[in-house]
Amino acid sequence: MHSTFQYPNFEYRRPPEMDAGLASAVPHPLVIVGAGPVGMAAALDARQHGLPVIILDDDHTVSLGSRGLCYAKRTLEILDRLGVGDEVVNKGVTWNVGRTFFGEREVFHFNLLPEPDHRRPGMVNLQQYYLEHYQVQACERAAVDIRWRHKVVAVQPHDEGATLQVETPEGPYTLRTDWLVVCDGARSPIRRMMGLDMEGQVFKDRFLIADVVMKAPFPAERWFWFDPPFHRRQSVLLHREADDVWRIDFQLGWDADPEEEKKPEKVIPRIQAMLGADVKFDLEWVSVYTFQCRRMARLDHGRVIFAGDAAHQVSPFGARGANSGIQDADNLMWKLAFVIKGLAPATLLHSYGVERGEAADENILNSTRSTDFITPKSRTSLAFRDAALQLAQHHAFARKLVNSGRLSVPTHCAASPLNTPASEPFDGWMGPGAPMDDAPVAFQDQPGWLLQQLGGRFQLVLFLDSAEALLQVGEPFVKPATAQVPGVLAQLHALQVDQLAVQAVVLAAQPCALEHAQRIQDTCGAVVLHDLKGLAARRCDGRHGSVLLLRPDQHVCARWRTLDADRVRAAVARATGRS
């Protein structure tokens, strides 16, 4: 019984810079170091903005073992926009329910997606090697120049970018770039080359990861045990992956010898004690790790910018590593594209450090709390934990105290300098800084999802009872005498002629005739959608005439009760660092 995945070997190709005279040529606009999930997400995003991009990686295949395993709803939505979401969801194991056990008893369970009508589930489990393989294929389709077996051995940052020394099987060469995005992992060689470090905490505990191939009756849920009978005074985590692979994490304690614990003769008895001696299984991958909750004080250093594990690290409980890294790329790349194209000043990139620094702090806080609960460091902490677990079985208030890993949720950048503060009252959570919620919609009478129509540019979502209200008079630029949205078409048209043209998305409570929707689109470039169940309006408090301004990464940056083109322009200027 074995996993069906076949590790590919990617071909080394001779770089043009090794040919005579090209080492000192014009620098490349963008180089990314690291062909992992974060680096390739950044590259795919860059290509969607029309940027040429090179990825350098010192390996020639995808990651070994499951590694980053759980991909949260927001990450799946980003992967959708990058063109690999369907492959990840179709191959992976979807789950929304998690169960927590104390001893042999179930204490409680939770649902990550209690509200229906979202395109993507709360979580999908998929081995990292599958995600990377899908991303490599997408990069090839997008004409990303991935250079396998190209190892960066020196980096020299300067005011105009960075100069890299790269080793290959054919020898070294020099590569110059205007911008360098570093996604080379937790041990980041480039971070060390630049004399930079992380601040934070290393936890004195060890955990064993075992990827086990087996047929098992467990449901597709997250099961977490405290002090189970098969692993006393420790904790165990069980997840299902694709291809009948199961991920099992055993807490070992700080005194465990990592090399000894990875040996099959040590691993197999632990699994047999958990599953029973008669269960047949094969070991696919084994590793021992420690927890670290650390981050760089600054993520942007001139024209060298760090993302993913190279910038921050958290414990694996809570699925915050890969999810946070992919969201780093989502936050960074539209800003970098605007700067490279001359649509925004370079100072816009400081907001990346502010927003994703806040996200790193939030992830580290939650991860540290989880780790402290899972691995209590004193008798008092252990007594508190066990009491909380006992109470949680019967009392809802105690369940909030139980922390087996607060699972990844997107950061709401409420304090971002790019936000325009709301001046009018709104209900709900879709305020400036929030990632836009998905909802079922129809486009040209075809059912779909709101987020499929959003992202990649600034967009203005206009909520209307009926899109036909925009066409109450024959001439669209004359104020209708009776319409509740006077002159809206004229203002939407005006927003199309700016250098940073804002696309309008009309979200109507009632369906719009195709000929009317086409007329609106021809007049002002607006996409007309039908809010099929009214959920988009409810989740955004989108009353008739209300508008939300969205950034290219689908985060809200302003909202108003009425449309005013001048206010929109001012908000876009603020969101692009031009204010």
Domain residue spans in the chain? 16-92+124-198+294-369, 440-575
Which of 573, 572, 552, 548 has the alpha carbon at shortest distance from 562? 548
Q: Which CATH architecture has domain 16-92+124-198+294-369?
A: 3-Layer(bba) Sandwich (3.50)
The model's confidence at residue 483, banded by pLDDT at 50, 70 and 90, is very low
DSSP H/E element including 207: strand 199-213
Is the CA virtual torsion 184, 187, 193, 194 positive or negative? positive
- Quote the pTM value: 0.93
Concatenate the DSSP letters of all residues of 448-485 into one string: EEGGGG--SS-EEEEEES-GGGGGSSSSTTSPPSS-SS
**Chain Cα centroid distance, residue 80:** 11
pLDDT given for residue 462 in this prediction? 95
How much is the pLDDT for 23? 54
Mean per-residue pLDDT over the chain, rounded = 90
Q: How far apart are CA 382 and CA 227, in angstroms?
A: 11
pLDDT band at 21 (very low <50, low <70, confident <90, very high): low
pLDDT at residue 289, as a whole number:
86
The position carrying tokens 């369907």 is 86
Q: Which 3 state secondary structure label does DSSP give 361?
A: helix
Interatomic CA distance for residues 418 and 572, integer angstroms: 9
Mean pLDDT is lowest, of 103-117, 171-185, 259-273, 414-428, for: 103-117
Q: How far apart are CA 13 and CA 471, in angstroms?
A: 57
pLDDT > 70 in the chain, percent: 94
Token pair for 10: 């990617």
- DSSP structure class, residue 424: S
Antiparallel, parallel or unpaired: β 222-226 and 235-240: antiparallel
What integer is the mean pLDDT of 532-545? 95
Helix 321-340 to helix 73-82 angle (10° resolution) is: 40
Q: Is 20 helix (H, G, I), strand (E, B) or coil?
A: coil
DSSP 238-255: EEE-GGGEEEEEEE--TT
Per-residue pLDDT band at 114 (split at 50, 70, 90):
low
Listed in sequence order, the residues at least 6 apart from 497 whose beta carbon sits closer than 8 Å to its beta carbon are none
Q: Fold identical between 16-92+124-198+294-369 and 440-575?
A: no
- What digits encode the pLDDT tens for the residues 349-394? 999 999 999 998 888 888 788 878 888 888 899 999 999 999 988 8
Mean pLDDT of 12-24: 79
The residue length of the chain stands at 579
Residue 574 has pLDDT above 80, yes or no: yes
Only one residue has tokens 């001048």, namely 566
Homologous superfamily, domain 440-575: Glutaredoxin (3.40.30.10)
106-75-345-179 Cα dihedral, nearest 10 degrees: 110
Residue 486: pLDDT over 70: no
Angstrom distance (rounded) from CA 239 to CA 226: 15
pLDDT greater than 70 at residue 232:
yes
Separation in Å, CA 187 to CA 312, 329, 334: 11, 19, 26
Decide if 138 contacts 78 (C-beta within 8 A).
Answer: no
pLDDT tens digits, one per residue of 435-461 = 999 999 999 999 999 999 999 999 999
CB neighbours of residue 102 within 10 Å: 21
